[in-house]
Amino acid sequence: MTDSMTGDSADQAALADRLIQRLDSACARLAAASSFAKFTQSGSVIELVRRLLPLPGGLEALYERIGDLDAAGIFSGSDWESPELLQPQMASNTLRLSTDHTLILEVLSELRLLAYVELRLTDDRMSPEQARQFLARVLALNLTLLFGQLTEADRVHLGRYAFMVQRHLQFIAEHIGIGDTIEELISEIWRILAQRPIEVSHVKDMITSVAVYLHSEDHSVPGASARGAERLISALYGPTRGCQEDPGIDVYLERLTGMDDQALRNEALGFGRAMHDTGLVSPYHPAFLRFALDERPDLIAGTLGLSSTGIEVLACFPDLINELIREAIWPETAQAVYGLAALLERGVLFSSPVAPALWRQVHLQLAPEAEQLLGMQSTNAQPAARQVLLAGVINVLGHPLGIGQGNNPTCQSARALSMWSTNVPDYLLQVVAWAARDNEVVRHFEGQRLSSKELLALTPAMPLYDVDPVSAVTVPHLDAIYHEMGRLCAGRGEDPHRWINPEFHGWWVGRGFAILVDVASGALVDLPGFVRRFYACYHPFYNGNNPVIHPQPAGIAVTDSSGNYVGWHAIAIERVALDPEGEMRVYFFNPNNDSTQDWGNGVRVATEGSGERYGESSLPIEQFVSRLYIFHFDSRDEAHDALVPPDTIARISDMVTTSWGANRDLIPALD
């Protein structure tokens, strides 16, 4: 065992070796079995493959043996027996929707196709080019999985197999490249950035992959896509003339000392323009901002790309903003520059408790547990853990709708953080202080004190993946409290969110509660009445033209691209308004941060082009209600005389009963 190998990795390597030996023996038995007995023998092979795939080196070992597995008859009698009949769309669906032996056979099938591409195997039924085109299409259909982003449907369907499928797709991409998917990859990046997410590490990985491809000798990208790619690459690696060839931070700082006034102004404007154009921040941007702070404070507003509102806030709170830049803005925390600009544009500092709460955050000492959640330890290096968290706070205050749950089942807590940042940013800062400094968040539920520290001592939190620093520190505490609230509601015979949401999120959550699903039986109760009530509470044409004052928590029935029920999911209704085409739409916050979602039967969620603000998703109101199953409202604001057209109710009811409600009983209104 080498010094760099941990005990855990050594154990995994030893397990992989044992499984490989057993697999070789099982493969030999399968090869020796008669044709009618291969189905029986293949089960043990598939089980060994399933156990081997997630282990280090497992995928590589299987690829080396794919010829032997194929020859032994692993595909005999299955849908994968004839590779020329396979379809990329079906292969993609299998990767996303299966978790049994069909998923394992699909992975092995694609390894066989990769062997065709690389001429490790030959088959008259499929040429190397046909195999390459097939795999390229599978990658194109799974770009979000390839780069680590899971939709809610993926998260539910794949569960613990998610990492295995992602690694498999990455393995294929490493071997065949991304050239055949480059256009779709560029478009996907722009779709993601249209929402202005806070956590953009996966986007940067995607842009780096595009940059590597474009600078290869044999790339071919249509002009429009190439221009879009160059905008992304330059925004990340060289947004201004002074750093356009990506010279490195130290070289760039030396150049700044030799620039005249006009050149420096051009640098400032170039950074601001590139940041607001893409939502990405280059590491050179914080380097310039820190330089401006010390040498040219008059350039700060231009560097941040501020409007008159942001400039006014900057003028009112210069000491605080200077300290935020000095403490939180580093090349390693570059995205916080955009968060700071958005924070100033929101004007949240004019809310009197926010500025002193941010001063507290600047000097906050983190508990060891918080540093561990951030993946950092106490060192003299900069940025330190507290500075990384401060940068995260700036991002969350600047982009409340950019918060995401990452690849974690934590939509409730992500939604709460977003709503607090929107409605009560000072309370958000209080929760961060409790979690980070005290390693304890205390909330009350119907008068009962709930301590996250005590709850986590009983049930430790699972690690979080792909989340911002604020989420990393606070969500384990919030999830523990949320689950305890659910436990306290057990046995009430109704959906616990009726009581949890107002207590968990805040006073602005309506105490009125509409639910379409009978908790005990799963049947749909008074579907027409549910639709009518939503219109009476939220549709401006039926509720007296009352807008949504505070975002309201709601629950949707997530469906896949075929309209099949997947699971329940927490969102927040932000507003209901006419889009630029005059269609009434519901604009909502989805903690998934998915670029787009196909919920089947023509219901496709939009994130841009229909009047959305950064971070919002939207649907025409009828489509939205067709996936809604719970919502809150204030009964005193409900329009009790709303005359919703019967054909509207009929269309929505049909969309429900032909999708997630297809196999549910219909119960009329209860007296």
Beta carbons within 8 Å of 442's beta carbon, 6+ residues apart: 434, 449, 450, 451, 452
Block mean pLDDT (10 aa), the chain, length 671: 49 87 93 81 90 91 94 90 85 79 93 95 90 87 74 69 87 86 83 91 86 71 74 94 95 96 97 96 98 96 97 97 98 97 97 97 96 78 92 98 87 96 97 97 96 95 87 96 96 92 95 95 96 97 95 94 88 97 97 75 93 95 98 93 94 97 90 59
3-state class (DSSP) for residue 598: strand
- Number of DSSP helices (H) and strands (E) in the chain, helices first: 30, 12
Amino acid 96: pLDDT: 78
Residue 463 resides in a domain:
no
Handedness of CA 117, 123, 124, 125 (dihedral sign): negative
Q: Does 189 fall in a domain?
A: no
Contact 172, 417 (CB under 8 A): no
> Burial, 40: exposed, middle or buried (Cβ in 10 Å; 0-12, 13-18, 19+)?
exposed
Q: Which of 182, 190, 186 is nearest to 219 (CA)?
A: 182
For residues 527 and 516, is the Cβ–Cβ distance under 8 A? Answer: yes
Residue 633, strand partner residues = 512
Which of 177, 202, 235 finishes a domain? Answer: 177
**Amino acid identity for residue 661 in this structure:** G
CA angle 567, 159, 459 (to 5 degrees): 90
Q: Looking at the domain assignment, is residue 561 inside a domain?
A: yes
- The number of folded domains in the chain is 2
Answer yes or no: is 140 within a domain: yes
Quick one: DSSP state of residue 56? Answer: T
Q: How far is residue 127's CA from residue 456's CA, in Å, rounded to a whole number?
A: 56
Phi, psi of 603 (to 5 degrees): -90, 100
| Predicted TM-score (pTM) of this structure | 0.84
Q: State how far the alpha carbon of 27 is from the alpha carbons of 19, 125, 647, in Å.
A: 12, 24, 61
Position 2 in a domain: no
Quote the CA–CA distance of 346 and 402 in Å, as a whole number: 14
Is position 597 within any domain?
yes
Would you say 132 and 172 are in contact if contact means Cβ atoms under 8 Å apart?
Answer: no
The C-alpha atoms of residue 615 and residue 593 are separated, in whole angstroms, by 8
d(CA 585, CA 620): 4
450 token code pair: 């709930």
User: In sequence order, what are the beta bridge partners of 272?
Assistant: none
Token reading at 327:
């403490």
At residue 425, the pLDDT reads 97
Last residue of a domain, one of 117, 143, 177: 177
Please give the residue range of the domain that contains residue 662: 512-667
Query: Residue 2 is encoded by which pair of tokens?
Result: 């080498």
In tens, the pLDDT along 243-299 reads: 999 999 999 999 999 999 999 999 999 999 999 999 999 999 999 999 999 999 999
Count CA atoms within 13 Å of residue 124 on its CB side.
0
Judge whether 381 lies within some domain.
no
- Please report the pLDDT score of residue 224 as a whole number: 66
Tell me which of 145, 177, 209 is where a domain ends.
177
- Span 508-562, pLDDT tens digits: 999 999 999 999 999 999 999 999 999 999 999 999 999 999 999 999 999 987 8
**Is residue 190, in this structure, part of any structural domain at all?**
no
What pLDDT is attached to residue 219? 60
- In sequence order, the 6+-apart residues with CB closer than 8 A to the CB of 434 are 440, 441, 442, 477
